[in-house]
Amino acid sequence: MYFLLASGDFLTNFEKLFNDDRAIELPINIVVMLVVGMVALAALVAIIPPPTKNMSVNIIHSGENGTSPVSGNTVMIDSSNADSFNIDVNMTVTDPDGYPVRDANVVLRGLGGVATGVTDDEGCCKLFTADGSSLSLGSNQNEGTMDLTISANGFYDFEKTDAVMIVRTS
């Protein structure tokens, strides 16, 4: 008999649950919060700055320090100077539309030395290795390369391995 009373109470409570309109508020509140959240997310995405761009690099002249530079990225070194030498490299850095990239940090490293510089308002940079950072080729090494790294605000970092070629001439 107790089971019948319990089951009767269960049916009464079950009918009350289906007739209760308060339960409809929860799904509506969830949908409203979801829509408001999506609008807030869309507003945040809209204020994010545009994606960064790539840089174009053009090595105009390169050469051994004290000699007249030649076009391109190959530096010819006399055999007598291969133990310790300095180089000069002139380059321009532009964006994809051809506009100069200002204040880009430029680093050229390799062969035991490093040259650093910053681009000017025209996107030009002259790199040179100083006496404290002289380059050298090994006794059995007839050529070597230097790697170029450029970083600027609003642009992807530019990295080029073997950007400058050093060749020993006899």
In this structure, the number of other CB atoms found within 10 A of the CB of residue 125 comes to: 23
| Higher-scoring residue by pLDDT: 14, 36 | 36
Site of tokens 């006794």: 139
* Interatomic CA distance for residues 23 and 28, integer angstroms: 10
Using DSSP, state whether 140 is helix, strand or coil: coil
Query: What confidence tens digit (pLDDT) does each residue in 28-79 have?
Result: 788 889 999 999 999 988 888 776 889 999 999 998 887 888 898 999 888 7
pTM exceeds 0.85: no
> Which class does domain 56-169 fall in?
mainly beta
Q: Where are the domains positioned within the chain?
A: 2-47, 56-169
